[in-house]
Amino acid sequence: MNAVVLLLNIAMPQKDLEAELDQLIIQGKLLYYGFMKEIGKLDETSAEEIKEHKIKLPSFTMEYDDWYSTCIPVVKQLIPDRLDDFMLQYKQEKRKEIDALTYTISDYLLQISTSRGPRVIADGKSALPKFLRQTNILKSAKNVLAHHIVDIIQVLQAELFDSELNAASTLNKNGFIRGAGAMAGVVLERHLKHVCDVHGQKSRKQHPTISEFNDLLKAANIVDMAKWRFIQHLGDIRNLCDHPKERDPTKDDVEELVEGVNKVLKTVN
């Protein structure tokens, strides 16, 4: 599978993965309010808002297990170092006694409570912060997912650019000078766009050029004057290949372009 196909396969499922994770987080929020309602902790303001928006709260007792079982592989895959913490909120195998600290969600589901005389030591109210911790752990998984996807895409993008530059170099050696220069120019333009996106630099134009991306990076102090001039020079060679000028590009021109783009890929990010 080539780098282009891999990029498409990674970018498209990202939306599906994020959507599924978002759904789990939303379901967790609804379960949280359902939990508060079950233990009599739902405040009047929240109750009114839920009623106003016609939100049907799930039964925490009936639906938590499905949510928990779905979350386990997600947490295990994205943030394995938090898995034990996530599971401990549900159940603690080793404990000397049941109190507010050791009381778990499974205790609530089994309707377990402890007391000393008339004073309640631990009951469902003690499990509420445990569930809140689980939902916060799940939220942190979304940030990790985004970073993982970005890392993968950057690696694959780098492989794609290297492959295209190698192809441009081969074309140039075989006499396809303009085509080689145009290909190398596309790599340069895509890379500059990516760097602008990473740094939040947006052009007002619908189809920015190498020069315009370069100006954005210079204005944001991402490239200094020397790099800006170097990129402008590479853009000039690219234009020589793309458009009829006073002279045709040479093999040396395109070789300089390919080598220059390769340098920009490694130094401008």
The larger pLDDT score, comparing residue 78 to residue 114, is at: 114
> Which of 100-109, 142-151, 213-222 is predicted least confidently?
142-151
- Give the long-range contacts of residues 122-129, CB within 8 A, separation 24 or more: 122/98, 123/39, 124/35, 124/38, 124/39, 125/39, 125/41, 126/100, 127/35, 127/103, 128/32, 128/35, 128/36, 128/39, 128/41
127-131, 162-166, 202-206 — most confident range:
127-131
Contact of 194 with 216, CB cutoff 8 Å: no
Task: Place 197 in a pLDDT band, splitting at 50, 70 and 90.
Answer: confident
Is pLDDT of 36 > 70? yes
Q: What is the pTM of this model?
A: 0.55
Angstrom CA distances, 212 to 115, 147, 202, 203, 219, stand at 71, 28, 10, 8, 11
What mean pLDDT, rounded, does the chain reach? 86
- As a whole number, mean pLDDT of residues 172-185 equals 90
